[in-house]
Each structure stands twice: as C-alpha cells, then as structure tokens.
C-alpha cells in the first residue's frame, strides 16, 4: 500500500533525525477495541474492560507493522486495555511497561458502563458541545472536567519526558484523554480537542526538537497498519 510505504519511509527519517539531533519522538496510540467500544458504551477510567477479538487483532497488526522499532520505554495507563494493546511488544522484547496514572481515561461519572439510550446520547453530545464552546470546567454528574484532566496530564508528561532518550517512546492511552493529551503536546487550544480524530489503535507520531517548546504532529490518526 502506497500510504503505508510512505509512512515507513517517514519513520526511517524520523529515527535518523532523532539520533543525530536528540529529537524526542513519541508514537501515540489508542487502545484496541473492546466490546463496550463496539456497543457504544462509555467506559471512562472507572470501567476496566478487556480487548475483544478485534482489539487483539488490531494490537497484533500494529506490532507486526512496527516491530522493527525499538520502543523504549513503553507507557500505559492503569487500565488493562492499554496493557493488552502493547502486550505483543512487551512480551516479545521482555519489557515492563511504565504505568502512568495520569494517562487514565477521563472520568465520565454517571455515564460509565451504561447502555446508551436516546437521553444519555443527547447528554453526551451536549457536554461535548459545551466543551467545544469553551466550558472546560463542566462535567457529567460525578465526572471529571477537561480542565482537571489537562492538569493531571501535565504531570504525566513530565514523567514521560524524563524517561525519553534517543529512542522513540510508545504511549498507549484512551480516546478522550488522547484528544486532551494531544492538545498538551502541541499547545493546541483545549476547547478544540475534537480536532484530533481517533480510532482504535490509530497512530499519531510526534517529534520535539531540543529548541522547540512543543511537539509537532508528523503522522495524524494513521490506521494503515490495520488494513
């Protein structure tokens, strides 16, 4: 596939630049599919689901596409769906992933684990629309605000950067948290977090030169490895 071939060429250039210029390189992925993803059920940080068959296949496909890279270190949240997504890398290379609690998904409060209904779907879309309008200190009942999520992720990023060397780091996390984290990495306005689209086991590649204050996206929501 031409797109995937171009992606491979880009990765090679990135690795060479990373080594020669000490550029930080982050490969950021969302976890694989779960049954709750398939059913449209909101998971959040309070629902610790396993990958389903499709999710395990996605994880394996990503591993086969990027096994040539020596990811070190590998970062995950506390939720096992992220651990299972990177398992092919950690098991094959005998690496223990670093758990970063700040990478946990946003707390969706009363919505977590509920079968979607017309009422709950409308509430979900209303709160997301409110965030897009800049109301970042609002949350679902019992849930977490994007502003609070953003603040905890700042500490998580400090921990991650303290362990990144000249090798690319792999970070596996969750949908809404990933949107927020990409805003933090790139200095993108948080209320525009939905600009960052994502799918299960999609890939963002970001780089940061020593003279840069923020990361630059060089590969956006790539799923070529899943085809």
In order along its 227 residues, the chain shows pLDDT tens digits of 444 554 555 554 554 444 345 789 999 999 999 999 999 999 999 999 999 999 999 999 999 999 999 898 999 999 999 999 999 999 988 899 999 999 999 999 999 999 999 999 999 999 999 999 999 999 999 999 999 999 999 999 999 999 998 889 999 999 999 999 999 999 999 999 999 999 999 999 999 999 999 999 999 999 999 98
Are 112 and 43 spatial neighbours (Cβ–Cβ below 8 Å)? yes
Instruction: Tell me if 176 is assigned to some domain.
Output: no
Q: What is the pLDDT of residue 1?
A: 47
DSSP of 207-222, one letter per residue? EE-TT-SS-EEEEEEE
**Residue 105 DSSP one-character state:** P
Using alpha carbons only, give the angle 158, 202, 17 rounded to the nearest 5 degrees: 55
Instruction: Tell me if 28 is assigned to some domain.
Output: no
Q: How many domains does the chain have?
A: 1
Q: In whole angstroms, what is the distance from residue 218 CA to residue 134 CA?
A: 27
How many Cα atoms sit within 13 Å of 212 on the Cβ side?
A: 16
Instruction: Tell me if 213 is assigned to some domain.
Output: yes
DSSP of 9-45, one letter per residue? HHHHHHHHHHHHH--EEEEEEEPPPBHHHHHT----T
Cα of 92 vs its chain's centroid, Å: 22
Instruction: Tell me if 124 is assigned to some domain.
Output: yes
CATH of the domain at 51: 3.40.50.1240
How many Cα atoms sit within 13 Å of 43 on the Cβ side?
A: 26
Instruction: Tell me if 194 is assigned to some domain.
Output: yes
Q: What is the pLDDT of residue 226?
A: 97
What is the domain extent for residue 162? 33-168+187-218
Instruction: Tell me if 225 is assigned to some domain.
Output: no
Write the CA distances from 35 to 49, 85, 117, 187, integer angstroms: 8, 14, 17, 33
Q: What is the pLDDT of residue 93?
A: 85
Tell me if the bond preceding 101 is cis, omega within 30° of 0.
Answer: no
Instruction: Tell me if 153 is assigned to some domain.
Output: yes
Instruction: Tell me if 73 is assigned to some domain.
Output: yes
Tell me the pTM. 0.90
Are 144 and 109 spatial neighbours (Cβ–Cβ below 8 Å)? yes
Q: In whole angstroms, what is the distance from residue 190 CA to residue 117 CA?
A: 28
């Amino acid at each position: 596939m031409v797109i995937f071939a171009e992606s491979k060429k880009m990765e090679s250039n990135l690795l060479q630049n990373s080594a020669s210029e000490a550029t930080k390189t982050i490969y950021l992925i969302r976890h694989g599919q779960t049954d709750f993803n398939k059913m449209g059920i909101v998971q959040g940080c309070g629902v610790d689901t396993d990958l389903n068959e499709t999710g395990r296949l996605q994880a394996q496909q990503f591993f086969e596409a990027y096994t040539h890279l020596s990811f070190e270190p590998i970062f995950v949240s506390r939720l096992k769906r992220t651990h299972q997504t990177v398992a092919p890398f950690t098991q094959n290379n005998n690496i223990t992933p670093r758990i970063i609690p700040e990478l946990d998904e946003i707390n969706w409060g009363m919505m977590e684990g509920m079968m979607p209904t017309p009422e709950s779907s409308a509430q979900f879309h209303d709160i997301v629309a409110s965030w897009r309008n800049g109301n970042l200190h609002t949350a679902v009942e019992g849930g977490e605000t994007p502003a609070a999520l953003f603040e905890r992720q700042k500490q998580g990023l400090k921990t991650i950067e303290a362990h990144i060397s000249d090798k690319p780091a792999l970070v596996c996390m969750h949908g809404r948290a990933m949107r927020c984290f990409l805003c933090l990495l790139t200095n993108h306005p948080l209320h525009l977090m939905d600009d960052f689209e994502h799918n299960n086991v999609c890939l963002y590649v970001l780089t940061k030169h020593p003279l840069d204050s923020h990361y630059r996206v060089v590969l956006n929501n790539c799923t070529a490895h899943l085809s």
